[in-house]
Amino acid sequence: MNILGIDTSCDDTSAAVVADGTRILSSIVSSQTDIHTKYGGIVPELASRRHIEMIWPVVDEALQRAGLTLGMVDAMAVCHGPGLIGSLLVGCGFAKAAAYSVQKPLVGVNHLEGHVFSVFLEAQGPEFPFLSLIVSGGHTSIYLVTGFGQYEELGRTRDDAAGEAYDKVSKLLGLGYPGGPVIDRLAEAGDSKGFDFPRAYLPDSLDFSFSGLKTAVRNVVVKSRGVETADEWLADIAASFQAAVLDVLVRKVEWAVVNKGVRGVALSGGVSANRGLRRKMQEMADERDVQLYLPSMALCTDNAAMIAAAGYHRYKAGHIAGMDLNPRAHLPL
């Protein structure tokens, strides 16, 4: 069964065709980084406009690479939230029109459910129950996943998402948007003990908080104004900031592993592309004797293959959307 997936929740226009919820026939992502980078973050109005320009070429390319036409897919799955409302509107409007025009079933998929499903697109997917850490620009949450469609949120960020903290710190340091990849690279060359940044462990809770860390970095940057700084200084800030983020992410997942007694942990979302996080989480998994499931780099950040994969299971469960499917900026999993 071939599902066409569409995601326009944030700043990437993406479309993919996935067979039977596991096999990627095509996956196209059109990035808008060039538009937003000079503003140090996503400008929602510009994102929606670019989605309108790109949606048909991206879907067309995904279909062509899969060797299909719109009328040949078995169903369509579209992300209807959470995300930027103007961006979501473009994908939802397009998907409804496309499904109606060729009389195919349409499924609405929660973006976070898509991230959870990204690991099922790898050769070896996890078995239930497992823990899913979603770490992206918009979310940082730990879920206990006991089956398809069965998610219990164990903790979430109380302020900034981890990716958002990366992006804000990157802006503070004048390193542009998105901040994750550049800080990840810089951190490899820096001393992670160069600065003693705070870790908000929030005992007795699996929640996260990254805003204090961001403020601590800002204080260092403000103090340095007018003082000549070397490249090493920047690398040390990046490494120390990253160490503070990763320590908390890994520790919280470890607590959840112990609390829930699960044997598997899956990561997803843009920050799961972070090399340091992948390494440290693997060390923790080895120590605790649990299996770690990591999406390949292309499946960490936003993509439509994960939407098609989740859409397949929604379709199987009979969750067909009507033409009244509306996007929602806030949509809990």
Binding stretches for ligand KG4 (CB under 6 A): 10, 136-138, 163, 166-167, 178-181, 184, 269-271, 273-274, 301-302
Phi and psi for 14 in degrees, rounded to 5?
-135, 150
For Zn ion, the closer of residues 136 and 170 by Cβ is 136
Give the largest CA-CA distance in the chain.
Answer: 65
Residue nearest to Zn ion (CB): 136
DSSP track, 130-166:
EEEEEESSS-EEEEEEEETTEEEEEEEBSS--HHHHH
Nearest Cα to 211, choosing from 176, 159, 250, 261? 159
- CB-CB contact of 245 with 212 (8 Å): no
For Zn ion, the closer of residues 26 and 110 by Cβ is 110
SS (H, E, C) 196-234: CCCCCCCCCCCCECCHHHHHHHHHHHHHCCCCCCCHHHH
Residue type at 50? R
| Minimum separation from the CB atom of position 167 to ligand KG4 (A) | 5
| Minimum separation from the CB atom of position 115 to ligand KG4 (A) | 7
Place of tokens 């299996």: 291
| Minimum separation from the CB atom of position 86 to Zn ion (A) | 16
| Minimum separation from the CB atom of position 65 to ligand KG4 (A) | 21
Residue 190 interacting entry, from Zn ion, ligand KG4, none, C-beta within 5 to 8 Å by type: none
* Alpha helix ranges (H) inside 2-160: 33-36, 44-66, 85-101, 111-117
For Zn ion, the closer of residues 113 and 236 by Cβ is 113
Phi and psi for 11 in degrees, rounded to 5?
-115, 5
For ligand KG4, the closer of residues 95 and 165 by Cβ is 165
Residue 274 interacting entry, from ligand KG4, Zn ion, none, C-beta within 5 to 8 Å by type: ligand KG4
Residues near Zn ion (CB under 5 A): 136, 302
For ligand KG4, the closer of residues 7 and 73 by Cβ is 7
| Minimum separation from the CB atom of position 308 to ligand KG4 (A) | 16
| Minimum separation from the CB atom of position 70 to ligand KG4 (A) | 26
Residue 126 interacting entry, from ligand KG4, Zn ion, none, C-beta within 5 to 8 Å by type: none
For Zn ion, the closer of residues 154 and 300 by Cβ is 300
